[in-house]
């Protein structure tokens, strides 16, 4: 998977992949600002939720494909 970012919080790592537009990166910045202001994290915007995946060993599973 290309163009991957990891958003690390106190409780989890959020993997995002196939980031392909400035809107994705802007959403990451906005999420980070909101999360730091709330000090407990903020809900991931839908534009990023659609890019979320988990790693299971050598496999990658896109969460949007699960349900």
pLDDT digit string (tens) for 22-67? Answer: 999 999 999 999 988 876 668 899 999 999 988 777 777 777 776 6
CB 25 within 8 A of CB 19: yes
Q: Give the C-alpha separation, 59 to 22, whole Å.
A: 27
30 contacts: CB under 8 Å, gap ≥ 6: 45
Global confidence as pTM: 0.80
Q: Give the C-alpha separation, 48 to 23, whole Å.
A: 9
Q: Give the C-alpha separation, 31 to 45, whole Å.
A: 7
């Amino acid at each position: 998977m290309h163009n991957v970012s990891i958003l690390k919080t106190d409780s989890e790592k959020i993997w995002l992949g196939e980031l392909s537009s400035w809107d994705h990166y802007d959403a990451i910045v906005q999420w980070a600002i909101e999360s730091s202001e709330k000090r407990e994290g903020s809900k991931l915007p839908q534009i990023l939720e659609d890019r979320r995946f988990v790693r299971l060993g050598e496999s990658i599973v896109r969460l949007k494909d699960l349900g």
